[in-house]
Every structure is written in structure tokens, then in C-alpha cells.
Amino acid sequence: QTRNAKLAGASLAPISVGIPCLLFIALLHLRNGYAVAACVQSHSAAHCSSSISMPAMRRARRWTVAAAMFITCTTGLQAPAIRQAPRTLRHATLDSTVLSCGASRPKTALSNVEISEFVDTSDEWISQRTGIRSRRVLQPGESIADHAASAAQKALDRSGLDPADIGLVIVATSTPEDLFGDAANVADQCGCKNAVGFDITAACSGFLFALVTASQFLESGTYDAALVVGADAMSRWVDWGDRNTCILFGDGAGAVAIKKGGAGLLGFSMGSNGAGREKLALPYNGNRLPLIGGKSATVVGPRAMLMEGRSVYVFAATTVPRVLREALEDAHLTVDDVDWFLLHQANERILEAVADRIGVPKDKFIINMDENGNTSAASIPLALDFAVKSGSVKKGDVLACAGFGAGLSWGAAIFRWEGELLQ
């Protein structure tokens, strides 16, 4: 139990390369001064299975020890002094520029009126409490990975980058098409033959976490360009008989292309608090499967999202203003320097509460949840694409973005838009 310290947590796939990738990401954050110590843990017994030989395991163990020594030698692992509030360790500008964006949504729209035909609710009840009027829903045979690839391809085409220039593809998702990860598939579909791809799971904070992670790789000089994707298929995991959750969520994907250099990611801040994980969760539900000799295993059973709506609202309304201020402070900016606030599109009432707490008019907030619903990790890049296409966001504008959700987790990033108007 670590107290009075800044923590951010995320999961990474695929499992076969998870530990080396996680260690490298941890090293990047340590090297760039965002943390003084990191803990990397594997949750999969597959690392000890036949997929990895014993000599390979011994090599991995030596690699892990060497990495741990590197962390110790370069950071000292000296516990920081107790702070009054969580803060980043230094000015967090990273050497990466957001060049372009792209989006992809299922064609099938499901309106509030249609939902009211099978759930005890109404269009007025939903729209007044959430600002949502419709959402897109994947149909049988439709793939969220294909939408992720489509969004990434659009961002790549608009960036002016060659697919061969992309060294990294990160997909932020909690609902991948393939449980072992969609990023390698996305990289392949986009023709990024030189790219390494992996998924990050941090729910509605996922896109912000992925953007910061990719920017760390660019800052370190490991890669020159990357694609960052947020994609989620929330309709597959809600209880369609629960009016408290099924009315909120939709499906979609959004992406940005980033490159090393330029205006830079001006500031960021991230955090998480696992003590609140039960407020918004999708827990494993296993059915017992008898094997032999009284031994058994569990196999996946039916499961659906659990959410305490009021608790999540209070969490978001109090945490998001703070993390935005932290990121702005790291960027040496104030709310008056921001052209647009781009928050996770969870609930319009949350955005109104945040606007009130930071003293900014609501018309400076990009909002498009009315037609998309809450698309989790996809919501920020989807809204960015909408705002750029509409001409609201223009080249040179400063955007303050914030994600928040399950974990509980939260993050914010400040960047200057360097893309062109989309036709």
C-alpha cells in the first residue's frame, strides 16, 4: 500500500512480450523523470508454460535482474518526501507532436427512443441526465479491430508520414477483438511493417495513457513516429436490461499520428486509485469445470459491467479539475491559454461540473457524446476528429485533454494541434 504518492496503473498485452515491454515502459518513465520507482508484475501463468523454454526463462530472469539494477542505479529508489497532494516530479513536456487524427464508427445507430422500446426509460430521461441521444452499435460479424485499423489508416494518410516511418502502434482498449491484443493486427492492416504493436488497458483513461506512453518512446529517441488508437466495443459488455448502464455506452474507434519534435506534448499528469475499482468494473465470472480427481478449472461465464453512477460522477467531478490543473501547471499554462477542453465523453453533466469548477464557459468544451454515447478509450480521439472536421479546432490551437474512469484512473495531457483542416 503506497500512500501520498502519484500512481498510475495500466495493463498491457500481448502476454508473450508483456514483461519486457512493461519493463521498458517503466524505464522510460523513470528515465524521463516522471517516476522515481516502478513495479512491474505479470498476472499470467502463461509465462511459465510451454510457450517459453527454460533457457529463455533464465535469460528473461537475468534481463529482469539487469533492468532492476538499472532502475536502482539510475534512480536510487529513494522514497520521495511525503507530499500534500499527488504531483508529477518535473516539468513533463515531451518531444512529440500530434499531426493528424482519424475516426471510425459502426453504421448502425441506436437511438434513445429505440432503447425505450425494450427498457423502462425515455428519450427525455436519458438526454436530460446524460446529454446522450444516440450511440453506434457493432453488428454481428463486425470487428472493433477493423474500426481501429480504419481510424489509424485515416490518421496515417492525413499525417504525411510513410507507413514505414511508424515504429510504434499502441491500441488503448478494454474490449479487444482478440483477447491477446489488437495492435499488431492494426499495424499490419495499415502497412506499418516496421512497427511494434501492443495494447494498453486503462478503460476510459486508456487513450491519454497510450498517448503519454507513445510520447515517452519518441522522447527517448527509440522511435520517430507512432500511431495511437483508442477503440472499444462497449455494447458487447453492458447488460441490455439495466437502464443505468445500457443507455450510456456505444462503440467506435479514433486515432492520432504523432512524430518526434515540433510543438511537443506540453504537459501531462496521470494517476490511479485501485481502492475505488468496484465503483466501475467488469469482473471475471467463471463457471466451475470439473477436470479429474476432484480438481477443476473455471471457464468464462456471462458477465456485465457494474457501475455505481453517483460515485463515479463525484469521482470525475472532483478529480478531473485537479488533474487538468496539474497538467497545465506542468505546461506552464493556465486555463486562459487553452483554446479547447477535450474531455472523455462520459456524461454531459460531468463536463458541466468540470467547467464550473475550473471557471471556464461550457462553449470551450468539445462535446459530441449526443450521437456517440460513451465509447470509453475511443471517446477523446472520436471527439477530436469531430471538432477538426467541423472547423472548430484549428492549427495552432492548444487543447487540454482529460480521461477518467475505471481503475479508478485519470489522466490529462496538453498539446498544440498541428494538423490541417479535414475535408
Q: Which residues have a catalytic role annotated?
A: 204, 344, 374
Give the DSSP per-residue string, 351-416: HHHHHHHHT--GGGB---HHHH-B-GGGHHHHHHHHHHHTT-S-TT-EEEEEEEETTTEEEEEEEE
Rounded-to-integer distance, Cα 25 and Cα 47, Å: 19
Q: Which residues lie across from 242 on neighbouring strands? A: none
What is residue 52's DSSP assignment? Answer: S
Cell reading at 166: 511508424
Q: Which residues lie across from 11 on neighbouring strands? A: 201
- Which residue, chain included where needed, has cell 507507413? 163
Q: How far does Cα 179 stand from its chain's mean position?
A: 16
Cα–Cα distances in Å, from 408 out to 202, 246, 276, 361, 405? 9, 20, 6, 27, 6
Cell reading at 321: 479539475
Q: Among 379, 405, 377, which Cα is nearest to 135's?
A: 379
Rounded-to-integer distance, Cα 176 and Cα 14, Å: 11
What is residue 116's DSSP assignment? Answer: T
Task: Enumerate residues 6+ apart whose C-beta is below 8 A from 207.
Answer: 172, 228, 230, 254, 377, 378, 379, 380, 381, 403
Give the DSSP per-residue string, 219-269: HHTS-SEEEEEEEEEGGGTS-TT-TTTTTTB-EEEEEEEEEEEEEEEEEEE
Diameter over CA atoms, the chain: 68
Q: Among 282, 270, 361, 278, which Cα is nearest to 319's?
A: 270
Cell reading at 122: 425515455
Rounded-to-integer distance, Cα 275 and Cα 143, Å: 33
| Other beta carbons within 10 Å of 399 | 21
Rounded-to-integer distance, Cα 355 and Cα 316, Å: 12
